[in-house]
Structure 1
């Protein structure tokens, strides 16, 4: 079935509402664990390394969710996959709120990640074809609600005095409200992208892009997860106060996405990615100065914003094929799995001041990968 015909089968207003709602929910959940980490650490008496397991399990679940969504796309239409994801997310939210033990909290965190991965990939791929020639503009428009959610989540935790339970219950309620909407959409079966044939050079480049996205999401997720803990430790802030400051990271991140749309018309993807990572490294170096940390993290959000979306364009031009994009998309979720325990371990050894230093190290690693890719692709 062609994208144009598929669009005709989907009520545009209801599909737009589903897209807005799904992206809003994803935006609310994406940064939620970071502001919740101090409360969870106190509740279950966790060290920094122990708390990092919650982040790692969440990211591992998201990785598995992307793979599950790709597998189900062969037989399940997008609304059905989205409904499954919403059910998983609602269950994960309730599980984390009600978990009496750390083991059950870990399981709930993994379940949240699983639902997140399924909904993230399903919604992005679904909307990228559902509106025919207007798909690109509609996807950009609808996905703006992700940024809104990412700003509201830490603010909600901050207003609740650092208590994440009520905001998570709100996310569960939103997932439940969106669930019936999915069953009103008549979607065609998701189309399977043709399998790409990779040469030795394209395999090497693909591996490079896997490294780029893996380290990038490690940085982005690391700031979102550990900023509250760092600000609490070096500025003696309450959890609620630190969580409110964290919202500025996502405000600037959302603004950065808008600005990067204009910059992408003037700069080639490789150059924009490298420039953004250079500036992000500088701002994270500034975050090592306690008094400057709130401003530095806000700038970091602005500078990191272009990397993921511009990197996807760079990937598509370098290694075309749906298989490459799916693999890189899935691998990106492994970033926090690998790097959150590292941040937690250094925090345990050297205190909260080690958090921005470790994140700076990961950013420099990401920058090195980007520079290596750019050099390898020069004629």
Structure 2
């Protein structure tokens, strides 16, 4: 593994795969699948007022819908990781899409809240399978273009996360069952595109540098542990900004409308950032991209502590944090090509990080106050940068 531009590595190309993993139609269908999982995750929040009215729920009870989704997501990642390589790729992805469809339809039609939670859990299992399966296949399936393709794939998640709440806003939260049913039906055509997915599991190591990276002077467990820490911490920053930016902006003097708009811009910039980094990933290594990303979001969070700069600084955080998740997966696969379950561990850890970030940050804010939000997140971001620098040293090229 090296910090050289990828273009310099092409003089020693790795052997080509016997057949592409995805046809053109399957690539498009995969991007549509990520729009759908982004929309699914984002649909629960805007529909909470309708949940509460229909089932007579407290705010905390209504919030269990998204919690059930995330728990199902972790289960789905770990479950389908066990199946990955034992059954064909088409069966893994097809069953994931089917579980999402059945779970979403069950959530829409559930007569009681416990049944709705069970359906959300089921949909989450399918969500986790799609998230893990496509990320894993894109990470090893496009040679030196894998990092670029992963950023494009995950950018479509952001498109779905923007469109889902917008759709609820247009039709009204009271019509959330119709939205979830439409979502369920939208999964079904993707099953027809699975013929374009190669059924056998590709061997990792066909990405940047031809899999020449290795762990030097450090145990594999230590490297995986720091990768997990990087994913948990950066998702904590991502969720922390998304959850607390509106409150912080209102506390320092901005109106509710401005705060809400600025938060939407933050999520939009995450999507834009992944599209922008795709061509850069063809020229620069994953290590370089993630280092710049961590440094940039640390500086932006420090700037967000200045009230006059805060809305713009938070947008910068979204831009810089965008490439970390998709760019880290090919790096991980090259650093630990024999650790087959490494990708599943970090993806599951990122979901756990999103769940744990809320209570942990909330407790820290109780001690320090709302105005300290950007500084608290800046500290977490600095830890991401430290983890990245450690990983660069621990996964050097021969």
Whether TM exceeds 0.5 here: the answer is yes
* Number of the residue aligned with 2:184: 172
* Number of the residue aligned with 1:307: 324
Conservation of the 8 A alpha-carbon contact between 2:148 and 2:277: no
1:36-115 to structure 2, matched below 5 A, reads 36=47, 44-47=57-60, 53-99=64-110, 103-115=114-126
Question: Quick one: distance in 2 between partners of 1:215 and 1:257?
Answer: 19
Cα pair distance change 1:317/1:133, threshold 3 Å: closer
* Number of the residue aligned with 2:273: 256
* Number of the residue aligned with 1:278: 295
- The size of the alignment, in residue pairs, is 368
Gap runs ≥5 in structure 1: none
Question: Quick one: distance in 2 between partners of 1:200 and 1:108?
Answer: 43
Cα pair distance change 1:187/1:204, threshold 3 Å: closer
* Number of the residue aligned with 1:21: 32
Question: Quick one: distance in 1 between partners of 2:85 and 2:280?
Answer: 37
Conservation of the 8 A alpha-carbon contact between 1:60 and 1:110: yes
Out of 204, 211, 227, the position equivalent to 1:209 is: 227
* Number of the residue aligned with 1:119: 130
Question: Quick one: distance in 2 between partners of 1:133 and 1:366?
Answer: 25
* Number of the residue aligned with 1:367: 385
Question: Quick one: distance in 1 between partners of 2:372 and 2:146?
Answer: 43
Cα pair distance change 1:13/1:129, threshold 3 Å: same
Question: With structure 2 as the length reference, what TM-score do the two structures score?
Answer: 0.72
Question: Quick one: distance in 2 between partners of 1:134 and 1:263?
Answer: 10
Question: Quick one: distance in 2 between partners of 1:248 and 1:212?
Answer: 24
* Number of the residue aligned with 1:219: 237
Cα pair distance change 1:56/1:336, threshold 3 Å: farther
Between 1:298-307 and 1:282-291, the stretch displaced more is 282-291
Question: Quick one: distance in 1 between partners of 2:106 and 2:356?
Answer: 24
Question: Quick one: distance in 1 between partners of 2:242 and 2:264?
Answer: 9
Shift of 1:213: 1.0
Shift of 1:73: 2.3
Shift of 1:66: 1.4
Conservation of the 8 A alpha-carbon contact between 2:141 and 2:202: no
* Number of the residue aligned with 1:320: 337
1:138-149 to structure 2, matched below 5 A, reads 144-149=155-160
Question: Quick one: distance in 2 between partners of 1:36 and 1:229?
Answer: 20
User: What is the SS of the residue equivalent to 1:4?
Assistant: coil
Matched, 1:341 2:354: no
Cα pair distance change 1:67/1:339, threshold 3 Å: same
Question: Quick one: distance in 2 between partners of 1:95 and 1:34?
Answer: 18
User: What is the SS of the residue equivalent to 2:59?
Assistant: coil
Gap runs ≥5 in structure 2: 1-15, 206-213
Conservation of the 8 A alpha-carbon contact between 1:3 and 1:129: no
* Number of the residue aligned with 1:330: 348
Offset from partner CA, 1:142-176 (integer Å, 9 cap, x none): 65533432332233344445668254343222113
Conservation of the 8 A alpha-carbon contact between 1:74 and 1:189: yes
Cα pair distance change 1:36/1:276, threshold 3 Å: farther
Question: Quick one: distance in 2 between partners of 1:102 and 1:298?
Answer: 37
Question: Quick one: distance in 2 between partners of 1:207 and 1:259?
Answer: 29
Shift of 1:208: 0.8
* Number of the residue aligned with 1:4: 18
User: More helix by proportion, 1 or 2?
Assistant: 1
User: What is the SS of the residue equivalent to 2:199?
Assistant: coil
Question: Quick one: distance in 2 between partners of 1:31 and 1:264?
Answer: 28
